Amino acid sequence: MPDLLLELFCEEIPARMQAGAADSLRKLVTEALVERGLLYEGAKAFVTPRRLALAVHGLPASQPDTHEERKGPRVGAPQAAIDGFLKASGLASIDQAKIESDPKKGEFYVAHLHRHGRPTPEVIAEIVPAIIRAFPWPKSMRWGSGSLRWVRPLQSIVCTFGPETEEPEVVPFEIDGIASGDVTRGHRFLSSGAIRVRRLDDWMTKLEAAFVVVDRERRKDIILADARDLALAHGLELVEDAGLLDEIAGLVEWPVVLIGSFDESFLDVPDEVIRATIRANQKCFVLKDPRTGRLANRFILVSNLAATDGGDAIVAGNGRVIRARLSDAKFFWDTDRRTNATVPLADRLAKFQNVTFHEKLGSQYERIQRIAALAETLAPRVGADPKLAREAALYAKSDLRTEVVGEFPEVQGLMGRYYAELEGLDPQIALAAEEHYKPQGPTDRVPTAPVSIAVALADKLDTLTGFWAIDEKPTGSKDPFALRRAALGVVRIVLDNGLTLKLSEFVEPDLLAFFADRLKVHLREQGARHDLVDAVFALGQDAGSAEGATGTQKTLQDDLLLVVKRVEALGRFLRTEDGKNLLAGTKRAANILRIEEKKDGVSYGGGVDITLLHEPEERALADAIAKAGPLIATALGAEDFEGAMGVMASLRAPVDAFFEKVTVNAEDKALRANRLALLADIRAITRQVADFERIEG
């Protein structure tokens, strides 16, 4: 079976686009082949800074032949109908059609159309130019006098097709003046001249000899292994960085890993800042000294060149740039320390008056004041000292005005902590400066220190209430102010720290619903049954018939911790025999009620007449419900969900007995209504805990 090799050779493709482009090329070409009846055995895409390539293995030499029978008009139909048929089926004359007959229609014409499949190269020559012209680059451009768009100027195309044992043929096509061929080029500096290639293995071998590793994953492996070895040889550890590795693999065709050093005096600068500088600006790795746990004064760079001097000039050049960058970083760090030591916090805060947080939400200064007030209010609820929480909140954003954070925004918070420590502030303030941004996502660490919690909650709640107030809520995939992340942060802080906090005191109902959504998502991701979550959340949503039983349901959802505890207790209860049976009984009661209420057009509930309770089982059930009601309410009032579930369990036997012995739809109308009212009581009493109808099983 023949193979296809396609290589699109161009000027340097941005590193961040390479992996996606390789995927797209594979998908687009193979899908187009399959659509045209060309099934294949395997396909693999390759990408380097200068080439995007695809090998499709095991293609047929041509499309399969097809046979189609097309029914025509009956024999003797008007000439116009016959002509139309000839035109549509491509027959030259009606003699070429067969005559078939059918008991209903009689005799009619049928065209038997045999189509030979087209040779695969012809199909490829049609597919590839169309894919190139419409390739989904995130950003593309024109060049020279042409009109073709590509990520950067496209220079040449290799497109060959043929079986393994024979010389493959060039699939001929032309696009914007570039003719396909079988000639490529090697490494920009380490190889020269044109290279003729036949098929995948040949292409890979020749390019490897021309200093090009075409497989991106292999380049990554080489870089990582060599970097680790080189670090080890110097008694150091590589600080691994998957994002950086990905990027670097997209900047080189022939990775050569080298090590350089910088002056030890730069190690005064915090590790995170050194790493940020070297990573962002120079795309180099940093190294750790295992003896101290701190960074070493070394860096690892990945060059694209096996230089004639062994890389000395490259290391020296990179070292000079890193030195200049670290000088800047050190200058920023020193300046900040000087400023912080001489300018009082109040004066630094005043500068935030000139910084707009959001056009409609005022200055950063106003925001900080709001957060400080809120942190002070929240403090007693989270076990923090209010005065300290206020001070911490006033301090927390101050690093945004520093030189270091201005240059490296990714170290915000952390710098706040460092500077606070240097200023000799209370350690809790220093910690809050770093931690109040946390958690940044579903896996980030949640702060646990009370002052950090107070400031983190205040920061997030202020953001949420602010953007809610100006109606900048997230919609669909759009969440420019990361409000979902902020709400999830609040949820996680509350739950992980076991905080009892009535959110309705701080946010409006619409925003509360947003928290409920985040909590649902969070609980589901934690593996909680979504039906139980829904069953508990349903309580506050409809003014359920349990109203009056405890009076707490309406506000239930604003205490995230209670919701979670209730879901957990409910889950445990439903795993017991009593729980399962009570759930079945309650659902049965609810079903009967739904049907009868619909039939009668009334809603049952609101009181059972004890004088109409004839059967011992119905009396027992009424007694049990009357007894259980206040007990459940008391337990719930004390947030004792286990206790409430225990009382619920006592209902199981009377409910089961009732359904076994008592006929609900009695002849006597009064009796029937009374029994339906009793069912309504079952529904109501279980709704004190959760909406059982929403529970599966």
Catalog residues that contact another protein under the rule CB under 8 A: 11-12, 14-16, 49, 139, 141-145, 151-153, 155, 189, 251, 282-284, 301, 303-305, 307-309, 313-314, 316-318, 320-324, 327-328, 356, 359
Question: How far is the C-alpha of 82 from the C-alpha of 96, rounded, in Å?
Answer: 12
Q: Identify which of residues 304 and 674 has a Cβ nearer to another protein in the complex.
A: 304
Burial, 534: exposed, middle or buried (Cβ in 10 Å; 0-12, 13-18, 19+)? middle
CB 80 within 8 A of CB 73: no
Rounded least distance, CB 138 to another protein, Å = 11
Q: Identify which of residues 152 and 234 has a Cβ nearer to another protein in the complex.
A: 152
CB 364 within 8 A of CB 376: no
CB 259 within 8 A of CB 234: yes
Closest by alpha carbon to 662, among 629, 624, 620, 625? 620
Rounded least distance, CB 221 to another protein, Å = 21
Rounded least distance, CB 305 to another protein, Å = 5
Closest by alpha carbon to 161, among 172, 151, 150, 152? 172
Q: Identify which of residues 153 and 474 has a Cβ nearer to another protein in the complex.
A: 153
Matching residue, tokens 């095991």: 58
CB atoms within 10 A of CB 163: 13
Rounded least distance, CB 11 to another protein, Å = 6
Rounded least distance, CB 405 to another protein, Å = 18
Rounded least distance, CB 252 to another protein, Å = 8
Rounded least distance, CB 147 to another protein, Å = 8
Rounded least distance, CB 124 to another protein, Å = 25
Rounded least distance, CB 323 to another protein, Å = 8
Question: How far is the C-alpha of 327 from the C-alpha of 331, rounded, in Å?
Answer: 6
Tell me how far the alpha carbon of residue 677 is from its chain's centroid: 49
Q: Identify which of residues 335 and 500 has a Cβ nearer to another protein in the complex.
A: 335
Q: Identify which of residues 98 and 320 has a Cβ nearer to another protein in the complex.
A: 320
Q: Identify which of residues 112 and 320 has a Cβ nearer to another protein in the complex.
A: 320
CB atoms within 10 A of CB 327: 13
Element (H, E) at 185: strand 183-185
Q: Identify which of residues 34 and 350 has a Cβ nearer to another protein in the complex.
A: 350
Amino acid at 412: Q
Instruction: State the Cα angle at 439 between 289 and 360, rounded to 5°.
Output: 125
CB 26 within 8 A of CB 44: yes
Question: How far is the C-alpha of 165 from the C-alpha of 418, rounded, in Å?
Answer: 67
Question: How far is the C-alpha of 439 from the C-alpha of 432, rounded, in Å?
Answer: 12
What is the greatest pairwise CA distance in the chain?
Answer: 107
Question: How far is the C-alpha of 389 from the C-alpha of 368, rounded, in Å?
Answer: 12
| Strands annotated E in 11-153 | 42-48, 51-57, 66-74, 98-102, 106-115
Q: Identify which of residues 308 and 342 has a Cβ nearer to another protein in the complex.
A: 308
CB 686 within 8 A of CB 584: no
Q: Identify which of residues 1 and 194 has a Cβ nearer to another protein in the complex.
A: 194
Rounded least distance, CB 217 to another protein, Å = 21
CB 17 within 8 A of CB 150: no
Q: Identify which of residues 328 and 615 has a Cβ nearer to another protein in the complex.
A: 328
Rounded least distance, CB 356 to another protein, Å = 6
Instruction: List the alpha helices (DSSP H) in 283-402.
Output: 312-342, 345-350, 364-378, 386-396
Q: Identify which of residues 152 and 588 has a Cβ nearer to another protein in the complex.
A: 152
